[in-house]
Amino acid sequence: MNSAKAPSLKQEQWQVPTFKVQHWHGRSKPWAVVIPVINEGNRIRQLLERMSAQLVSSQADILVMDGGSSDGSLATAMLAEHNVRALLVKTGAGKLSAQLRCAYAFAVEQGYEGIITIDGNDKDDPEAIPRFIDALQNGVDFVQASRFLPGGQAENTPKARNFAIRLIHAPLLSLSSGFHWTDTTQGFRAYSRRLLTDPRVAPFRDVFSNYELLAYLSHRVPRLGYRCLELPTIRRYPPGKVPTKISFLRGNLTLLATLIKACLSVYDPENK
């Protein structure tokens, strides 16, 4: 169990929260699938079972990025059974964006050419991962999942969330970025190595602590001329109460404020 340091590949100025490398079996593929989790219970097991059935580990290394789970859902034997090559545990401050900075910094330092991120709550169908890899191999730098494209599927999406994505979030980011986005709140994405290491993007900054990073990248990356692509995917919410880490009032107001700041270039680096 080792405490990780900031990457040394000319990124001495990167700001990366402290994290522990709980397990690491070395890089075996050019691509990494990063799964951010925190207290996902049986949902992370279900996701990994589906990824195993679809032979995802034959194309990409699976890295689980834990935000500090306390529910016992990340047993070593279970992770090994499903070919998880790394378990990283964030020990520093912050929520999702902090987790992602830890995982992306680790993946870049280990030499991965591209990173696919899929949430650990088992809402997204990993069957799309090979298509994400194909897009990266063909020179796309930012791949975004979309349940709303032809061929995509949205099951049980809460009405309020569907309204917010279609009529607020995606239109505002499309307007500010110059790229037509349809599904901007999804964490199911892929990024090239060159995008993540570009100082004009500069994702490794402490300003990205909660949920800022996703909106920022959707705004910033197209404006820099990177190749962006949306792919149709399947996103299923379970019936009944929606499992979410975002509180209805305070959490959604925070997300709206974050969206507006991203669209106004508040998060853009000083060297823009």
Please report, for the domain that includes residue 167, its CATH number. 3.90.550.10
pLDDT of residue 152: 97
Using one digit for the tens of pLDDT, what is the confidence trace for 232-262? 999 999 886 655 555 455 656 888 999 999 9
Beta-strand pair 2-3/19-24: antiparallel
> Cα separations (Å) of 150 from 132, 134, 182?
17, 19, 11
Nearest to 78 by CA among 69, 70, 87: 87
Q: pLDDT at position 272, please? A: 61
pLDDT reported for residue 136: 98
Angle between helices 250-263 and 170-177 (to 10 degrees): 20
pLDDT score recorded for residue 23: 95
**Domain assignment of residue 270, yes or no:** no
Number of folded domains that form the chain: 1
- The CA-atom distances, in angstroms, between 64 and each of 82, 119, 167 are 11, 10, 33
> Is 125 within the bounds of a domain?
yes
In a domain, 268, yes or no: no
**Which structural domain range is residue 72 located in?**
2-263
Q: Is residue 106 included in any domain, yes or no? A: yes
Given a cut of 70, the residues of the chain with pLDDT beneath it are: 1-10, 240-252, 271-272
Flag whether 62 is in a domain: yes
Residue 117 lies in a domain: yes
pLDDT of res. 7: 45
Q: Per residue in 56-76, pLDDT tens?
A: 999 999 999 999 999 999 999
pLDDT at 270: 85
269 in any annotated domain: no
Residue 184 within any structural domain of the chain = yes
- Please tell me the predicted confidence (pLDDT) of residue 6: 40
Task: Determine the Cα angle at 98 with ends 93 and 100, to 5°.
Answer: 150
Provide the token pair at 115.
């990173």
